[in-house]
Structure 1
Amino acid sequence: MPRVGPTTPLVAKEETRRLRSYLPALVLERLTTAHGPETPGTEHRFGAAALFADISGFTSMSEALAATGKGGSEEMTELLNDYFGTMVALVDAYGGSVTTFGGDALTAVFPYRGHSVRAIRRAVRCANDMQLEMGRYQMIPTSAGPFSLAFKAGLAAGPVLLTTIGDERLRFEPVIAGTSIDGCVAAEHHASPGTIVLHPSIAATIAGVHASPLEGGFAAVEPFLGRRRPTSGSSIGSLDARAVDASTVRAYMHPSVAVAIESGHGRYLNEHRRVTAVFTAFDGPDPTRRAAGAELQRVLSPALDAVTETGGHLLQVDTGDKGDTFIVLFGAPVAHGDDERRALTFALRLREVLPDARIGVCCGAMFCGEVGGDSRRTYTTIGDPMNVAARLMQRANRGVTLVAGSSEEAVHGTVRVTPVDALTVKGRSQPVRPLSIAGPTPRSGDTPPAGEIVGRRSERERLRRRIDGAVRGRGRTVVITGPAGIGKSRLVEDAIATAVQHGLAVHRDWCRSTTTATPYASIRGLVGSLLGLEEGSVPDERRVRNAVAGIDAGLGPRSPLLGPVLGIAISDTDVTRGITGDLRRELLDALMLDIVAHRAERGPLMLCVEDCHWLDPSSGHLVSALSEGLSGMAILLLLTARAVSEADPRGQVPTPPTMPHAETIPLPPLDDRDSLRLARATVRRAFGTVPHSKSYLDWLVERADGNPFFLEETVHLLRDRDIDPGEPTAG
């Protein structure tokens, strides 16, 4: 069966319809006449009734079902989509559009379209019918026991702003804001489980609805005795299936989610896994003011750059009268093996670009996957760590980042922290004891500290020999290959520590799944490091010219060739003017070889590029050119990649470049002896003790099947659920 990828021109009708459901009907309507995504900052303003519906009970259900294994994830998926499918269908039937999902909550708007009172009535009746449907969810039988769900909702009416933020490197994200959205959220805060509350903006406008007055002009709606069959169809139902092409919709999605759906592997998105959530509160523009959309894009652009650079996933952006927030995930939908560190690095970057932001970070096991109905769905996460991260964000002062749930090695290997007072979180029996980030961990030579490594004796020895060869001027390329979680990054950390001890200067970069279509994005940081440019900064033409000339004056006239690599425009010189196409690329290859050769004359180098299965083609070509030209230089080019034949279960198929001059070091699974050593060390770090029960450790070893990351994640999952390995039942 041929692989279906993000550039496949023809996608099955069902997959196209499924892709389109990732965008609200309001957005699809506006894209029917557009040729691609809307320009960030574009504004659409209209009046609408808004409904915010929240459900409680899914978080505890998710945690219980996670303990039952893969079957629990499938069961959770079925239950979530039964509930959300019902609610989305009701919104559609009453002429509304589900705009956002917030974990186990949803927001819907009902545009006036010339009749404000009718739209408000449809929204109220929709909320009422949602409440009537809750009888089906009062006692849900599951493999982990019975559970009940509770519903509450708030409604309001008024102006709405629909805009777009993002860019083509990350993705585009629709944002809906305005007094109508603020009002329905405020009304929901006045609601108790099983009730619907009207905001003062509509409490006095609905005839024939019995409501009890509440403080502040809010009113609690009494349930209707019966339902009235909806008479208004959803706007999404009238949209031409061909009106918005798949490539446009893909631009609003994480690429791995889009590929999974297009290739028919969407079911693999649904699972319980360890994820780090970063919640950020920031000062955004007033949505009622002119050009608020463009201002929101301007404020968030540096943060979006940080998301791209650290490999995170922008889950959503929310605006409101009580503050603006955005949520970024690390570990879902793509896991990198060092997602906790990436999240903490991202938090550090946020403090630079949004110095007054309040940030909450929490890591733990969550349900990840698709939720929604036929016409509207999204990729989201549900679990206690989301609640904790939100609570930490609320607790944090301006300019403060609070962290909970991250492993000790991730924290102390990335940031300096100080303890703060414990806080209570709804639904948790024990208080959370967060840490406050004081700054980055000091590093010698800007190289990350080597983490503990178990086994890999022959592989470490091979790398030590190659490092010694680089010192002696015998340049080589080494590619470490293996499946996700097998320990490639940990072996790289160990090699870097050895290289630094031998006097090598280390320059390092990571490829990212979100930038495979952006030329040279995979090695932009590496090239900037070789030129001595400040990490994370966008260099200007003068600095680049000076940096190249500083390496060797004779290279200066060729500096414009580096413009595409660094993502900036550099005016041509007499040497480069008029040169295009293959010849320009060959000159760029030669320039990069000259740069690394001159740097190696000052001292031996290690050039490290990780996750090369995500290399963009332009970066792949340049890396191959470097690999071919290293002979006789004091340079070790160290790459990591998943095995070429390894198909990611979420539909993405890694394709690392072929390096004919490279030595490959494949990483097999750990043997049982090394797995047992790792299990003991991981349990000791997580719990402060090693269990007396050998069966407990044997169970960990068997479950991990030689994969270090899976073994450590299993221990962290047990820690998050307060399952003590020292208890007799733990074995």
Structure 2
Amino acid sequence: TALTESLQKEHGARRGSEELSRQLKVVYSALIAEIEKFGGSVISFAGDSMLCWFDSGGGSQGSGTRAVSAAFGMQSAIQEFQALALKAAIASGDARRFAVGDPEIMKLDALAGNTVTRIATAEHLAEAGDVLLDEATVNTLGDAIKVKEWRVDGDEKFAVVGDWESVDDGQGLPSILRMPPSTKLMSWVHYAVFERKQYGQGGFFTEFRPCVALFVRFTGIDYDSDSAESELDTFIRTVQTTASRYEGTLMDITIGDKGSYVYVNFGALSAHEDDSRRAVKTALELRNKTELQLQMGITQGLMRVGAYGGETRKVFGALGDDVNLAARLMTTAKENEILLSSHVYEAVHDDFTFEPRSPLPMKGKAEPLPVFAVTGESQKRAVRLQEPNYSLPMVGRVEELRLIEEKLELAKAGKSQVIGILAEAGLGKSRLVAEVIRNARRKGFVGFGGACQSDGIHTPYLAWKGIWQAFFDVDPDMPLRKQIRNIEGEIEDHAPSRMDAMPLLNVVLDLNIPENDFTQNLEPKMRQSALHALLEDCLKSAGKGRAHTDRDRRPALDRRALT
């Protein structure tokens, strides 16, 4: 972090990011070269750390010897970079290695077990310049090592190693690696990154981008059980598919002494104005899709996005202070709680309900940070379109307004019309629509409005729900039985012969009206036809002697929808 800040200050955000990428590539290349020199490989990156694997088979030196040699080699290599320091932790023993995730999105390599847990514990005890070994590694190496001191965490003991003489037994990775075919690579690289490389578009530029970080800790999987891989794979696929629905990206998975957690990013590969809302929606859905216990933290801010690593091993990532803060919120959250930073809260406070939590003290911050817990989605009562309040008259758009006036007159005469207003952002669509609403109200129209989020394309009738909720005057704060009585009254007034179809309104009103003898046996196509007939009759009855306008804030209307 200090290096990032100094480079940004010296070169500016863009140049600083480029210089940081260049320096990190040199650093990682030097460190990974030491790992591969002694036959190891990098399994995963997590922020500024690497998890490495040294297989026990092959070579005249055991895996422990080669791992210690690589660790001291990295300590020597880091001396070339004065602003940086390194600490290494080594644990020996059995570990379970899982390949999990949806191959259509990205598969991930994950290590689990007590050996991995001991590595994480040792890392917390290590200081800059240290090489720490667990007791199993110390016992394996015997007199080959000199122990400077022991450090203890509960029942675990770790040795700080003194001088070490590395021996290269020639078991390193070959200097020239043959690239595997793309058919094997593609399932291990995120599809968006793979497509750019595959079609010659190059990699993503390393830059500072506004992103949202979602950290999810999950517990409830016994990694020593026979079902561990299946359970982990099921959960990771659930995270991937849920995040992908909102165009988020599962960046990595970590299994260690403080539990297991995943990092999901919104904005690194695909940016949206409402990435904060998408992250909270993802968190809420995950909470309802798994029986595992979850703790979640969400933050937003400027992050360094792009590839990092060495010549032979790199990963696409998004790093920064807000990533660390999201992890901190995750560890602070209670079981099945979702905690937000104040910046995320400000971005989504109209869409969800919250409870304040105790401010979070942060190192280097004078004041503790405000924290909020998500309790659910806010239920807003849909209302008829109101005449917009603009203090200044509209200028221009004469031809468009003339055409719309003609359409309004035709609609008033009983000839239904559909008007589409399409343009790039910032060109005045909302102002023009406001003028249409003003003119329509003056002609006696009653207006209803609906909106559709870009991530809601798979939700039936989403753009119409606000319209029909306002039409039937649905109040989400009212008990269901009172809502049903109100809706029965509306149907009795407008379409009494369609009363048996009332439960079909659930899909457009987001209610749970009990099914009846008529609706419970209907086939899907018949349910749709009966619903449309009910809505059409209600609208025709309400429109007798009165015109209606519908405002649908989507780029284009679904021609299969009721219009």
CA contact (8 A) 2:451 2:462 kept: no
CA contact (8 A) 2:193 2:204 kept: no
Give 1:276 deviation, angstroms: 1.0
Residue deviations 1:625-659, cap 9 Å, x none?
Answer: x55x89xx74xxxxxxxxxxxxxxxxxxxxxxxxx
Q: 1:298 aligns to what?
A: 234
CA contact (8 A) 2:404 2:436 kept: no
Q: Which residue type is aligned with residue 166 of structure 1? A: G
Q: CA separation of 1:189/1:321 partners in 2, compared to 1, >3 Å: closer, same or farther?
A: closer
Query: Is residue 510 of structure 1 aligned with residue 492 of structure 2?
Result: no
SS at match of 1:251: helix
Q: CA separation of 1:162/1:151 partners in 2, compared to 1, >3 Å: closer, same or farther?
A: same
SS at match of 1:365: strand
Q: Which residue type is aligned with residue 368 of structure 1? A: V
Q: 1:95 aligns to what?
A: 39
Q: CA separation of 1:59/1:72 partners in 2, compared to 1, >3 Å: closer, same or farther?
A: closer
Q: Across the two proteins, how many residue pairs are aligned to each other?
A: 488
Give 1:280 deviation, angstroms: 0.8
Query: Is residue 222 of structure 1 aligned with residue 159 of structure 2?
Result: no
Q: 1:480 aligns to what?
A: 423
Give 1:58 deviation, angstroms: 4.5
Give 1:257 deviation, angstroms: 2.1
Alpha carbon RMSD of aligned pairs, Å? 4.4
Q: 1:420 aligns to what?
A: 357
Q: 2:526 aligns to what?
A: 549
Identity of aligned residues (%): 24
Q: CA separation of 1:296/1:338 partners in 2, compared to 1, >3 Å: closer, same or farther?
A: same
Q: Which residue type is aligned with residue 376 of structure 2? A: G
Q: Which residue type is aligned with residue 370 of structure 1? A: A
CA contact (8 A) 1:453 1:490 kept: no
Q: Which residue type is aligned with residue 525 of structure 1? A: T
Q: 2:332 aligns to what?
A: 395
Q: CA separation of 1:119/1:465 partners in 2, compared to 1, >3 Å: closer, same or farther?
A: farther
CA contact (8 A) 1:154 1:189 kept: no
Q: CA separation of 1:478/1:79 partners in 2, compared to 1, >3 Å: closer, same or farther?
A: same
SS at match of 2:526: helix
Residue deviations 1:239-263, cap 9 Å, x none?
Answer: 643xx43244333333332233335
Q: CA separation of 1:194/1:266 partners in 2, compared to 1, >3 Å: closer, same or farther?
A: farther
Q: 1:197 aligns to what?
A: 132
SS at match of 1:296: helix
Q: Which residue type is aligned with residue 552 of structure 1? A: S
Q: 2:457 aligns to what?
A: 523
CA contact (8 A) 2:249 2:266 kept: yes
CA contact (8 A) 1:269 1:333 kept: no
CA contact (8 A) 2:59 2:169 kept: no
Q: CA separation of 1:527/1:308 partners in 2, compared to 1, >3 Å: closer, same or farther?
A: farther
Q: CA separation of 1:220/1:337 partners in 2, compared to 1, >3 Å: closer, same or farther?
A: same
Q: CA separation of 1:76/1:267 partners in 2, compared to 1, >3 Å: closer, same or farther?
A: farther
CA contact (8 A) 1:74 1:270 kept: yes
Give 1:152 deviation, angstroms: 1.0
SS at match of 1:317: strand
The counterpart of 2:378, out of the listed 441, 464, 468, is 441
Q: 1:351 aligns to what?
A: 287
The counterpart of 1:234, out of the listed 162, 169, 173, is 173
Q: 1:30 aligns to what?
A: none
Give 1:471 deviation, angstroms: 7.3
Q: Which residue type is aligned with residue 232 of structure 1? A: Q
**Equivalent-residue separation in structure 2 for 1:595 and 1:169 (angstroms):** 42
Query: Is residue 253 of structure 1 aligned with residue 197 of structure 2?
Result: no
SS at match of 2:370: coil
SS at match of 1:285: coil
Residue deviations 1:124-144, cap 9 Å, x none?
Answer: 111111111121121xxxxxx
Give 1:597 deviation, angstroms: 8.3
Instruction: Tell which deviates more after alignment, 293-302 or 168-177.
Output: 168-177
SS at match of 1:232: coil
Higher gyration radius (CA): 2
The counterpart of 1:288, out of the listed 224, 240, 244, is 224
SS at match of 1:421: strand
CA contact (8 A) 1:460 1:495 kept: no
Structure 2 regions of 5+ residues with no counterpart?
Answer: 465-503, 511-518, 542-547
Q: 2:98 aligns to what?
A: 163
Query: Higher RCO, 1 or 2 (CA under 8 Å, sep at least 6)?
Result: 1
Give 1:339 deviation, angstroms: 1.1
Structure 1 regions of 5+ residues with no counterpart?
Answer: 1-55, 139-147, 512-521, 536-541, 556-593, 611-622, 635-731
* Normalised TM-score (structure 2): 0.74
CA contact (8 A) 2:296 2:337 kept: yes
Residue deviations 1:291-329, cap 9 Å, x none?
Answer: 211111233444333212221111111223431101101
**Equivalent-residue separation in structure 2 for 1:157 and 1:454 (angstroms):** 73
Residue deviations 1:512-560, cap 9 Å, x none?
Answer: xxxxxxxxxx83224677796498xxxxxx99965542332599xxxxx
Q: CA separation of 1:479/1:371 partners in 2, compared to 1, >3 Å: closer, same or farther?
A: same
Q: 2:17 aligns to what?
A: 73
Q: 2:211 aligns to what?
A: 275
SS at match of 1:481: coil
SS at match of 2:315: strand
Give 1:385 deviation, angstroms: 0.5
Q: 1:664 aligns to what?
A: none
Q: CA separation of 1:295/1:95 partners in 2, compared to 1, >3 Å: closer, same or farther?
A: same
**Equivalent-residue separation in structure 2 for 1:177 and 1:411 (angstroms):** 36
CA contact (8 A) 2:60 2:169 kept: no
Give 1:599 deviation, angstroms: 10
Q: CA separation of 1:474/1:422 partners in 2, compared to 1, >3 Å: closer, same or farther?
A: same
Give 1:265 deviation, angstroms: 4.6
**Equivalent-residue separation in structure 2 for 1:290 and 1:204 (angstroms):** 29
CA contact (8 A) 1:401 1:436 kept: yes
Q: 1:34 aligns to what?
A: none
Give 1:192 deviation, angstroms: 1.1
Give 1:435 deviation, angstroms: 1.7
* Normalised TM-score (structure 1): 0.58
Q: CA separation of 1:429/1:528 partners in 2, compared to 1, >3 Å: closer, same or farther?
A: closer
**Equivalent-residue separation in structure 1 for 2:430 and 2:119 (angstroms):** 48
Query: Is residue 327 of structure 1 aligned with residue 270 of structure 2?
Result: no
Q: CA separation of 1:302/1:256 partners in 2, compared to 1, >3 Å: closer, same or farther?
A: closer
Give 1:606 deviation, angstroms: 5.4
Q: CA separation of 1:86/1:114 partners in 2, compared to 1, >3 Å: closer, same or farther?
A: closer
Q: CA separation of 1:122/1:227 partners in 2, compared to 1, >3 Å: closer, same or farther?
A: closer
**Equivalent-residue separation in structure 2 for 1:544 and 1:456 (angstroms):** 55
SS at match of 1:174: strand
Query: Is residue 362 of structure 1 aligned with residue 305 of structure 2?
Result: no
Q: Which residue type is aligned with residue 234 of structure 1? A: L
